[in-house]
Amino acid sequence: MNKKKWIILAAIVVVLGGGGYGGYAYYQSQNTVAEEPPAEEPSFPTAVVDVGEVKKTIFSSGTVEAKAREEVRSESSGKVQKLLVKEGQAVKKGDVLFTVDSMDAQLELQKLELGITRSQKELSELKNKKDRIVSNKAGKVKELLVKEGESVTPDTVVAKLVNTDNLKIVGKFTAFEADQFRVGQPVKVFVTASLYYVDGVVTKVDKIGKKEKGVGGVHDVEVLVKKPGALYAGDIGQVQYTDPKGVLYMSQQATPFELSDEMEILAGTHGKIGKVEIDKEDEVKSGQLLFKMDLTDSELELKDKELSLKEALLNLEQKKREIAKKQVEAPISGVITKLNVKEGETPGSEPVAVIMDTSSVYFVAAVDEMDIPAIKLGQSVDVYLNAFGNKPFKGKVTELPKEGTKEDKSVRFAVKVELSEAADMKHGMTGDCDIYVGQKDNVKRLPLNAVEVMEAGHATVMVKDPSSGEPTPKEIEIGLEGADFVEIVNGLNEGEEVLMMNPEGM
């Protein structure tokens, strides 16, 4: 036997021996007076080995916490312009709670946006620069409008051409006669000096008309004719048209042939003229090179514009974030439990609002570092809150912390317990809990105060000696040690009776 076993046995023997000696002395002193009945043997409470469940628990205190709790603060300075919520109001994540005065920031944002639009336009112009200007028409150069070194834009007129293959003539008609003509209509033009006809096409009909001295109201009908070899500008002609019924319509007077309208050549690009490739009176064809552009500084300018645009975009994004901070949104869904500001006030150091998700709550148990290795996810928990007396609330372990918090000389770990019934619970309530870290069903067991645990897996119980009836220690093998019962693995059978080691549970 080990030392502890001997101490227990010795204590029992001393108690029994002392009682025997006292009884003997008393008997000897009284034997001359009268014969008394023998004293009753001392009795001890007993416990019987039965079959049932053994639960091992870890006890811990803790507090009730809402599923989520967020303190909302304003990230930008300024007065609260508009408060959109009140205490007790339910909000969803992303709902705007309040806005901060952002007029100056909005004006700055608009300036940045205008600057970016301007920069994008300039950059586009640089990227669309061409190294040459070509003619998109054919004709004779009547006028050159730009010189080397001059800057142009896409809409700059760089030259004017006239078409030398065609001449135009304007016939004068009455309003009724003008109604007989349509653009694109073929007509004849009588050349009075040569007494022959040339073919023409109507290009314009004046439906409004005008008054001319000595003639009255006239309407111009412009006709374009293909220039034959013997027809020149200044020759006189008369526009004629015979309708399907054979009616002849003839202009009221002969008019001179003219060169066709001028054709404008646009630059179509940005930049400086590098070299002029044509002269006045030159005949040019469609697609012919007119000007070479000077692109010496274009690449450097393009890179500089691109960098400037990127910087402007970054400034714009930063300004948008600043403005976004002035519109404060709910970080979680829940209920506004506290508001610390009013419209027109500037938020202080306190959170402007507190939001709690009260859809469910947790009990956070402060578990000692010696017990934390036994805690596992999913373990059952009975929670007892001071506000509800001895009523147990069922729960289970849903979250284990990665690190603990030092309190005095010990370290405690915040174990989160999800509760199945939490409708009446409030954030901050206190209580304690039993975390069930082990359980066995249908096993032999004895009450905890009937067993003297010696070491892990071994214990001693007191049984009656069959021959003398005196208490005798007996070694047994035990398993799970619960809060109320101890599992009996070996050494006792169901129904066997043992003496209670500590009847009152002390």
- Residue 41: is its pLDDT beyond 60? no
Which of 32-46, 379-393, 454-468 has the lowest average pLDDT? 32-46
User: Are 489 and 380 contained in the same domain?
Assistant: yes
**More confident site: 403 or 75:** 403
pLDDT digits (tens, 9 = 90+) for 263-283: 899 998 888 898 999 999 898
- Residue 488: is its pLDDT beyond 80? yes
Residue 244, in any domain of the structure: yes
Cα three-residue angle 248-181-160, rounded to 5 degrees: 125
Strand, coil or helix: 270:
coil
Tell me the average pLDDT across 14-19.
44
Residue 147, in any domain of the structure: no
User: Are 364 and 495 contained in the same domain?
Assistant: yes
Residue 205, in any domain of the structure: yes
Helix H or strand E segment including 127: helix 103-127
- Residue 256: is its pLDDT beyond 50? yes
User: Are 258 and 302 contained in the same domain?
Assistant: no
Residue 296's pLDDT is: 78
State the Cα torsion 221-227-232-237 to the nearest 10°.
-40
**More confident site: 138 or 469:** 138
Residue 440, in any domain of the structure: yes
Question: What's the CATH code of the domain at 261?
Answer: 2.40.30
Residue 287, Ramachandran bin (φ over 0: left; ψ between -120 and 50: alpha; else beta): left
> What sign has the CA pseudo-torsion 130, 135, 136, 141?
positive
Instruction: Place 304 in a pLDDT band, splitting at 50, 70 and 90.
Output: confident
Residue 43's pLDDT is: 65
User: Are 307 and 394 contained in the same domain?
Assistant: no
Residue 340, in any domain of the structure: yes
User: Are 181 and 239 contained in the same domain?
Assistant: yes
User: Are 368 and 462 contained in the same domain?
Assistant: yes
- Please state, for a pLDDT cut of 90, what percent of the chain lies above it: 41
Residue 48, in any domain of the structure: no
Residue 102's pLDDT is: 59
User: Are 210 and 112 contained in the same domain?
Assistant: no
Domain that holds residue 248: 157-266
User: Are 495 and 360 contained in the same domain?
Assistant: yes
User: Are 492 and 368 contained in the same domain?
Assistant: yes
User: Are 377 and 425 contained in the same domain?
Assistant: yes
pLDDT digits (tens, 9 = 90+) for 319-371: 677 666 667 888 888 888 888 888 878 777 788 888 888 777 889 999 999 99
User: Are 393 and 478 contained in the same domain?
Assistant: yes
Tell me the average pLDDT across 255-270.
88
Parallel/antiparallel/unpaired status of strands 166-173 and 50-72: unpaired
Residue 195, in any domain of the structure: yes
Cα–Cα distance list, 299 to 149, 294, 296, 302, 304 (Å): 18, 11, 7, 5, 9
Average pLDDT, the chain: 83
Residue 367's pLDDT is: 95
Q: 290, 130 in Cβ contact below 8 A? A: no
Which of 16-20, 241-245, 288-292, 493-497 has the lowest average pLDDT? 16-20
Which of 123-127, 395-399, 408-412 has the lowest average pLDDT? 123-127
- Residue 3: is its pLDDT beyond 60? no
Tell me the average pLDDT across 1-27.
43
Tell me the average pLDDT across 487-499.
92
- Residue 33: is its pLDDT beyond 60? no
User: Are 333 and 370 contained in the same domain?
Assistant: no
Residue 260, in any domain of the structure: yes
As for how many domains the chain has, the answer is 4
- Residue 480: is its pLDDT beyond 80? yes
**More confident site: 76 or 206:** 206
Strand, coil or helix: 312:
helix
Question: What's the CATH code of the domain at 97?
Answer: 2.40.50.100
